[in-house]
Chain A
Amino acid sequence: MVEITHGGLWFRWSLLGRTDKWLAGTSCVAGCLASIPVAFLISELSHEAGRRVAGSHSPDSPGALSLDPIVAWASVGLLAISALLWWRFSVRQDEMFNRIQNWAIGMAGGWIIALLLPWTFLAAAGVLGPPPPLIVFFICLIAPSLFWYAAVHRWAS
């Protein structure tokens, strides 16, 4: 069974069996590979920000996605593989791990819906612009992480 360490940042890998190590490790690798295109997008945004600070403008708008469709689909596929493997890993763990994870995902999901749904409605009405993909990505990354740390602090630390 997994033990959560460092306030939620890591696991005690030595306690995991061979199957759990393979499931968790492969899931993490797939997730990291899926996130590589985001690094290029951040790089584009950073360059754009630098150009604006320097006073030279670019026709590119910050936050605009410029991913190749094949790369995007590959990322989606890798994310699906990562999620499936993490689910298989999770069902092998005990109730405290699953309570922590399910609470974190549930709370994060609720807050993400509360933030993005009104934004989407307002964007459809022309009041706001559509939520930029990178913003959505970071909200989906940060929200579960914050609630994960809160849950670990509440139940496991």
Chain B
Amino acid sequence: MGVLTNLPLLRAERKLTQAELAAAVGVSRQTVNSIETGRFEPSLSLALKLGRFFETPVEDLFALA
């Protein structure tokens, strides 16, 4: 069972590049890309960091496929 995310939409709304988002949450741009394409499921702490950055609950960022 995979994980769906609307991270690309949220990032585009704020006009951020993957590299800028990666720097903001302390991961590599490659990690952000892998999360957005659904290849990599972030840990709870990274998911919470993303939620805090976008001021969005984690449940609104990620959902089970």
Contacts and interface: CB of A to CB of B under 8 A. Distances in A.
A96 B22 CA distance: 12
A3 interface: yes
B20 to A, nearest CB: 13
Interface residues of B, number: 13
A3 B27 contact: no
Contacts of B30: 1, 3-4, 96, 156
A156 B27 contact: no
B34 interface: yes
B43 A95 contact: yes
Nearest to A96: B31
Interface of A: 1-4, 15, 93-97, 99, 154-157
Across the A-B interface, the 7 shortest Cβ-Cβ residue pairs: A1-B28, A94-B27, A96-B31, A3-B30, A155-B40, A94-B28, A94-B31
